[in-house]
Structure 1
Amino acid sequence: MENSKVVAGGSLTQRLEIQEVFEHLSAREKLYAHHMSRAAWDGTRIILRQVSFEAEQIFDLILELYQSCSGDWTLLMENCDVDQKNLDNLLEYAALFLGNIGNYYSEGDQKITSALTKTALFKFGRASAKSRALLENVVPAMISPHPSSLRFPSPNTQSGYYPGPGILSRQEIVEITRVLDSRSIEPENTRIQKSVQDGRVVYDVLQGSTEIGSEEESTQINGAIATICVVRGDYSDILKNVCASLSKASEYAATDSQRAILDDYIRSFTTESLDTYRESQKKWILEKEPVVENIFGFVEQYHDPLGVRAESPGLVAVTDPEETAIFKRFVDEAPKFLRMLPWAAGASENDGRGPFEKTSFEAPEFTSIHALAYCSTIIFEGINLPNYNDIRETVGFKNVIIANRMRANVEGMSAGTLVKKSDMESLGRCRHRVRFVSTAVHELLGHSASKLLTRDRDGGANFDVNNPPINPLTGKPVTSWYRSGQTWTTVFENLATSVEECRASLVAAYLMDVPELMELFGYTDTGGVTAEELLYNTYLLLAVEGVESLQHYSVENKGQAHSRESFGILK
């Protein structure tokens, strides 16, 4: 696989190396990985529909043009009577589209538009009858700068999570989400579509499942009577293919627990049940060190403007045993580093971790993996899942570093004119090392450190309600906490992921000057790259990434969560 992005003056392509670890798999493991990868790619069309109305048809157009010339772009030029410049413009647009899985940038959510004119685009319709038909539908969307970004629906913005002719206001979306919450319908695998039928306002809540059905009831939205109709069967055609590939993969699963995880995936995608998906996550956490790792489901909430509806990525990867051994040592030492965090300073309770940490640190799975198929708008270097806090506290969680993604990303980076010439050489040598260590800390301690203070419906709590913890910022007892069923994403909505990523990155930056931590990863004051040099470049890289994050900013859309995190830290 290759990781491509267009840069000023040309294009930069980095290979995602996988062959070495893949060749160590047995024939059965390779077949398992193959069918799991098919499931991931099958699910890509869900993501396209979550991005925009036109994204899936543009995807089909790109595939059709490729197939019409069997990948021989010179032949496409001849068949369509276009010159090299027009072909280059088409391929640049296709590369950006495929790299972001949609016609909006995955970071910043700003629209990708084609440099081709309407006339030039329609020339490519000569490739086939199908390409002509698709172009009729998508050319306006490919060349128009509007809707300019992915936000709450408006004349200038759109969101695939809120499709349809009726424009939903933010307040309507919030109220509908609260109504669903009161009925224990979780939002992750839903979209909302507004219409007017026989003079009445109808809100269709589309649930991702292969099964089809609906239930409706009257309620009040914005003070007016409206109908909410919960409609099962969103993405039904796609999820049937995903489930078929998962079922085939199950025939080659290495363990009964792997098969049980896939069975839960299939049942969840069939029935829309997120309770069944939660059960899959509990089993997934307990599946220790699988040779072939996977992540499926409606899990990433970065692109929903409300921050509660989730993208459905598919990741299939092969474990790297040597790098995983380093992470195991880090996990073993993790409780010691938790005691060094500022909210635990001087604490004697909870084994020195203080009242804001869990009573016990359940050693999570932490592995280094190489992506074989990674179908997502954002290709992360590290992942910490699941996002369900109750499961994290009672069962645990997993951390993974996607090693081949990280290497390709770092090798393709250039600080350009952002740093002094005297720092360029050092940053070049240290950048990958900084990203490796800081991402490891970010995922293991950043996302897992601390707990949500919560009271349940029966009055129970995970803290002493008669003697609440002292807020380290005010010196007084805390006065608020989470209610049963609430999570940080439902409370803080679209701000939640930015704050969470900022917290995780700052935990990493805070601990990067701890000698014991640096030594664990092989950096001391006597090595080729010293711990001091690594620390200097950690802060230099924070500054560089803070400035670079501005490329994803617009007035309408304040930027993707990780970009906002980087700029917030720079400030």
Structure 2
Amino acid sequence: MFPSEISHTPLPGATIHQLKIKPVFDALVKREKFYAHYLARAAWHGSRIVMRQVSPESPDIFDFIMDLYHACDGKWDILVAQCNITSEELTSFLDYAAMFLCNLGNFYGEGDQKFVPDVTAEALRKIADISTKTKASLDKIIDPLLAVPPFSLGYPSKNALSGYYPGIEPITQDEIARVSEVMNKTSIGPENTRVRKVVKDGKPILQLLQASAETGPLKAGHDELADGMFLVRGDHSDELARVCSALQKAKDYAGNDKQTQFLTHYVEFFRTGSLKAFQESQKAWVTDISARVENILGFIEPYRDPAGIRSEWEAMIGIADADEIKKLKIFVDSSTSFIRQLPWAVKGVNDGKGTFEKSLFEAPDFTSVHVLALCGSIYEYIREACGFKNIVLANRLSLKSFKSTTHIVRFLTTAIHELIGHGTGKLLSETSPGTYNFDKQNPPTSPLSGEVVTSHYLHGQTWGSVFGKLAGTVEECRAILMSEYFMDNKDLLDIQVFLR
């Protein structure tokens, strides 16, 4: 089926769920409540970043929906009479608004296909007549809101767009690749960047937009990266300034030195754009074990960038549930025995785990949290050197629409996905010049070919830099397969009985 033949309107009758959070929030002490509150504020201050990364019109569509809400004081039904629309038209618009707010943009978070409201332009204009402000808001976005194509996110073309490559000047994949080459040479990480092409004095200019609250070059004359290519700091500056302000307030309620450390590094990262500061934050974050209030903040996953290297703003603030954590501990305690059952494990080698696993599997801090705020991986070498965390979002898994058995299966598959799927494996690497994390003179044998391996990660290379846009996809497939591989495992089923 061609994209033009596919319906681009959301399915009618969207079900809206309210995640339960009050009981676990009320159980926090006063300091923890303030800490959680300001972290949640920081998370949501980044919501416009997500929208801007999705499409140019998404922030303005959000404003239109909010302006309508305020114009009718949340009493949507009055729009039927006051705007002379049908109840069906109102319902269709609200289905669209709910889908937009769920995805923080007008493209689905899964599949990246565009969706449009199942109402006419005339009906939208009638709805917007509720106030002067909503009329002005709609005028800004009605054309891109209804336009199909673009059909999906992707490299900018007639049929696709990408918020990571904004602007009216078309940019080519070769130009994007050229920017990446220069970034590698100048040691600028891609995660918190976008690329924009402009024309000045008839000459094409490539601008590398780096997310930071600060604007302007760090040093005078240091903004030119190459001929016709410039670093422009201050992308998402307004939002990140508010993020930094909220995090500074959260620091006043930090419960230990580790929390103070990673919050300090967070602020430096969002203020300056320095990915080194973010990496330092993660080193402190992974050592904040069994945190009562947990967080994920930053430019994390690169799934929606067609080049596979630029990351979306992602923020989650959750509150740990002590009873559920006790249940998860059995997974952590059993993790090594599961690793010994993987297909590449070799009895008698590396404690039965084989050469493709770390000598010591350090079980992560495995936490079940109830989501307080959710808007929208940590670096592999940090996982290798400092450990990692796995987080299960319990109140998203326990919606009433899940039957009791379905919830157990999802809970278990998610736990295995995170603990074993993302937690196992070792990247054969040159960790520093001339130093390797495997026996270079006697390299291990590949379980696929039966031959000794002939390649490894060079110093400075990472999983993401080598595999590019395929890295995230392969990693998720690997983790999913782990869950499927273990789902008929007797030991796992014994744990399932325990969790009942």
Q: Tell me the TM-score normalized by structure 2.
A: 0.94
Q: Confirm whether residue 446 of structure 1 aligns to residue 421 of structure 2.
A: yes
Letter of the structure 1 residue corresponding to residue 298 of structure 2: G
2:463 maps to amino acid = W
Q: Paired residue for 1:217?
A: 224
Aligned counterpart in structure 2 of residue 17 of structure 1, from 16, 20, 23: 20
Q: Counterpart of 2:6?
A: none
Post-superposition shift, 1:116?
Answer: 1.6
- Contact 1:13/1:412 (CA < 8 Å) preserved in 2? no
Matched-pair contact (CA < 8 Å) for 2:362–2:387: yes
Q: Does residue 145 of the first structure (1) align with residue 134 of the second (2)?
A: no
Partner AA of 2:168 in structure 1: P
Question: Is it true that 1:412 corresponds to 2:401 in the alignment?
Answer: yes
Structure 2 equivalent of residue 355 of structure 1: 355
Instruction: Tell whether the 8 Å contact from 2:12 to 2:92 is kept in structure 1 after alignment.
Output: no
> Relative to structure 1, is the Cα distance of residues 477 and 199 closer, same or farther in structure 2, using a 3 angstrom cutoff?
same
Q: How far apart in 1 are the matches of 2:310 and 2:90?
A: 37
C-alpha offsets along residues 366-388 of structure 1, whole Å, 9 cap, x if unaligned?
Answer: 01000011011xxxxxxxx41x1
1:493-532 paired onto structure 2 within 5 Å: 493-522=468-497
How far apart, CA to CA, are the structure 2 residues paired with 1:173 and 1:306? 8
CA distance in 1, matches of 2:489, 2:119: 53
CA distance in 2, matches of 1:207, 1:460: 33
Percentage of pairs with the same residue: 45
SS in 2 for 1:14: coil
Give the stretch that moved more between structures: 323-332 or 47-56: 323-332
Distance in 1, matches of 2:113 and 2:267, equals 34
Structure 1 Cα separation of the partners of residues 258 and 82 of structure 2:
52
Match of 2:389 in 1: 398
User: C-alpha separation between the residues in 1 aligned to 2:487 and 2:123?
Assistant: 53
How big is the shift at 1:21? 1.2
Partner of 2:278: 277
Conservation of the 8 A alpha-carbon contact between 2:190 and 2:310: yes
Residue ranges of structure 2 left out of the alignment (5+ in a row): 1-8
**Which residue matches 1:230?**
231
**Is the 2:10–2:99 contact (alpha carbons within 8 Å) kept by the matching residues of 1?**
no
Aligned length: 488
Contact 1:12/1:412 (8 A) holds in 2: no
C-alpha separation in 1, matches of 2:460 and 2:47: 30
Determine the structure 1 residue equivalent to 2:34: 31
Indicate the residue corresponding to 1:466 in structure 2: 441
Q: Which residue identity lines up with residue 238 of structure 1 in the other structure?
A: E
Partner of 1:302: 303
Contact 2:408 2:496 survives alignment (8 Å): no
Which residue identity is paired with 2:353? R
Task: Quote how far apart the aligned CAs of 1:262 are.
Answer: 1.4
Instruction: Output the amino acid matched with 2:310.
Output: R
8 Å contact kept, 1:153–1:168: yes
Q: Match for 1:164 among 164, 167, 181?
A: 167
User: Where do 1:7-86 residues align within 5 Å?
Assistant: 10-86=13-89
Measure how far apart 1:523 and its partner are.
Answer: 5.2
> Which of 205, 221, 235 is equivalent to 2:208?
205
Does the C-alpha gap of structure 1 residues 8 and 144 become closer, same or farther in structure 2, counting only changes over 3 Å? closer
Relative distance call for 1:218 and 1:278 in structure 2 (3 A) is: closer
Distance 1:281 1:291 in 2: 17
Aligned pair partner of 1:476 in 448, 451, 454: 451
Please tell me the residue identity of whatever aligns with 2:409: V
Give the distance between the partners of 2:50 and 2:443, measured in 1 at CA. 43
- Distance (Å, rounded) in 1 between the aligned partners of 2:304 and 2:110: 9
1:155 aligned counterpart, secondary structure: coil
Determine helix, strand or coil for the equivalent of 1:324. helix
Instruction: Write the mapping of 1:100-115 to structure 2, written as runs, cut at 5 A.
Output: 100-115=103-118
Deviation, structure 1 residue 362: 1.3
Kept in 2, the 8 Å contact 1:317–1:372? The answer is yes
Quote the offset at 1:513 in angstroms. Answer: 2.5
- The whole-number CA distance in structure 2 between the counterparts of 1:163 and 1:486 is 28
In structure 2, the residue corresponding to 1:230 is in which secondary structure? strand
Deviation at residue 111 of structure 1 after TM alignment: 0.3
The CA RMSD over aligned residues, in Å, is 1.8
Q: Distance in 2 between matches of 1:213 and 1:298?
A: 21
What CA distance in whole angstroms lies between the structure 1 residues aligned with 2:487 and 2:159? 43
Judge conservation of contact 1:338–1:445 (CA < 8 Å) in 2: yes
Residue type at the aligned position of 1:269: F
Which residue of the partner structure matches residue 421 of structure 1? Answer: none
Q: Is the 2:121–2:142 contact (alpha carbons within 8 Å) kept by the matching residues of 1?
A: yes
Query: Partner of 1:12: helix, strand, or coil?
Result: coil
In structure 2, give the amino acid aligned to 1:93. Answer: Y
Shift of 1:485: 2.4
Unpaired runs of 5+ residues, structure 1, are 1-5, 220-225, 377-384, 414-427, 530-571
Shift of 1:14: 2.6
For 1:183 and 1:505, the matched residues in 2 are separated by 36
Give the Cα–Cα distance (whole angstroms) in 2 for the partners of residues 125 and 523 of structure 1: 55
Matched AA of 1:444: L
Q: Deviations over 1:177-196 (max 9, x none)?
A: 12101211000000000112
1:446–1:508 Cα contact (<8 Å) kept: yes
Tell me, yes or no, if the aligned pair for 2:10 and 2:96 is still in contact at 8 Å.
no
Asked whether the 8 Å contact 1:115–1:143 carries over to 2, the reply is no
Distance in 2 separating the partners of 1:64 and 1:73: 12
DSSP-derived class of the 2:436 partner = coil
The residue type equivalent to 1:491 in the other structure is V
SS at structure 2 position matched to 1:352: coil
* Equivalent residue letter for 1:340: Q
The residue identity in structure 2 corresponding to 1:501 is: E
Do the aligned partners of 1:52 and 1:160 also contact (CA within 8 Å) in 2? Answer: yes
Inter-partner Cα distance in structure 1 for 2:326 and 2:46: 32
Q: Distance in 2 between matches of 1:456 and 1:259?
A: 29
Partner of 1:260: 261
Written as runs of structure 1 = structure 2, the 5 A alignment for 1:318-357 is 318-344=319-345, 346-357=346-357
TM-fit CA distance, 1:363: 2.0
Which residue of structure 1 lines up, in the alignment, with residue 3 of structure 2?
A: none
2:407 corresponds to:
432
- 2:10 & 2:106 partners in 1: Cα distance? 17
